[in-house]
């Protein structure tokens, strides 16, 4: 039997929610578990109701749709379908990773296509998490496209991590770890890919097997003429090559 997706509608326009609700109620693949009239309420309901699918308006009071995605955390991550009256906003979000977008007024045929895509994606938690990370990193006018979220895994659960909460990226054998203050998460991407994506961020390579968030560096101590020890804010210690010490020092004084 096909899985029925718990669905949340987030739109500040009451008529928009009503039209979408009536269309969704005709689809056996979905069941509506909540509605939100602003971004803050949408975020609260996502955390409490844990929907599988969210129809998310980009422009809402208190918190826009993209900001809602940027504040998502936890292991139960929903598929996002962007809903908007502005095609350029929808296309930007879709190209950044949204599974699909709906332009107002929403048509039945377009909705069914979006639901088909959502149903296929809902059983792939890694793909859901990576899509959300891309949406969260949608560049705003005049800003760089440095990722705002990284995807980490513990067991079967995937999490969206703010880059500010990641202290370091470490490679151990063939595994890449995202180190936070209290725990480690397996990365879904290799170190080289992460380094390229984080080029315009506080992350700096300190060793061939490690990147460090310089905002979390607390101390650099010499061990030998060729090796230094870097201490992070959670007391994690990493070896720094002599060649990289100068770069770390420069970043710390900026």
Contact 227, 241 (CB under 8 A): yes
Q: Kindly indicate the confidence band of residue 22, based on its pLDDT and cuts at 50, 70 and 90.
A: very high
Query: Which stretch of DSSP H or E encloses residue 20?
Result: helix 14-24
Q: Kindly indicate the confidence band of residue 250, based on its pLDDT and cuts at 50, 70 and 90.
A: low
Nearest of 212, 242, 211 to residue 224 by alpha carbon: 242
* Range list of β-strands (E), the chain: 5-10, 30-36, 53-57, 79-84, 100-103, 149-154, 157-162, 168-172, 175-179, 184-187, 203-207, 210-213, 217-222, 227-232, 237-241
Q: Kindly indicate the confidence band of residue 93, based on its pLDDT and cuts at 50, 70 and 90.
A: low
Q: Kindly indicate the confidence band of residue 86, based on its pLDDT and cuts at 50, 70 and 90.
A: confident
Instruction: Say if residue 129's pLDDT is above 50.
Output: yes
Q: Kindly indicate the confidence band of residue 135, based on its pLDDT and cuts at 50, 70 and 90.
A: confident
Contact 71, 16 (CB under 8 A): no
Q: Which domains does the chain have, with CATH numbers?
A: 5-136 (3.40.50.2300), 161-252 (2.40.50.1020)
The pLDDT > 70 percentage for the chain reads 89
Average pLDDT of span 158-183: 94
Task: Give the per-residue pLDDT at 142.
Answer: 40
Contact 79, 99 (CB under 8 A): yes
Residue 3: count of CB within 10 angstroms of its CB: 10
Rounded CA-CA distance 24/4 in Å is 12
Highest mean pLDDT among 77-86, 101-110, 183-192: 183-192
Average pLDDT of span 11-24: 94
């Amino acid at each position: 039997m096909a899985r029925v997706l718990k669905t949340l509608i987030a739109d500040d326009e009451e008529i928009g929610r009503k039209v979408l609700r009536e269309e969704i109620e005709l689809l056996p693949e979905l069941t509506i578990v909540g509605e939100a009239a602003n971004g803050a309420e949408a975020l609260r309901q996502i955390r409490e109701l844990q929907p599988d699918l969210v129809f998310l308006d980009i422009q809402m009071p208190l918190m826009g749709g993209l900001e809602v995605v940027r504040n998502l955390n936890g292991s139960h991550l929903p598929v996002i379908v962007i809903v908007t009256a502005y095609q350029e906003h929808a296309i930007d979000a879709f190209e950044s990773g949204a599974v699909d977008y709906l332009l107002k007024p929403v048509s039945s045929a377009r909705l069914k296509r979006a639901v088909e895509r959502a149903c296929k994606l809902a059983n792939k938690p890694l793909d859901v998490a990576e899509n959300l990370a891309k949406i969260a990193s949608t560049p705003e006018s005049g800003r760089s496209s440095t990722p705002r979220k990284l995807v980490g895994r513990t067991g079967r659960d995937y999490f969206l991590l703010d880059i500010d909460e990641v202290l370091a990226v470490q490679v151990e054998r063939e595994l890449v770890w995202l180190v936070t203050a209290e725990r480690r998460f397996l990365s879904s991407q290799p170190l080289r890919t992460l380094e390229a994506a984080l080029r315009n961020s506080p992350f700096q390579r300190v060793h061939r097997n490690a990147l460090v968030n310089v905002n979390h560096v607390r101390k650099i101590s010499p061990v030998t003429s060729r090796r230094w020890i870097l201490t992070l804010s959670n007391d994690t210690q990493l070896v720094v090559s002599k060649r990289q010490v100068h770069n770390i020092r420069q970043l710390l004084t900026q």
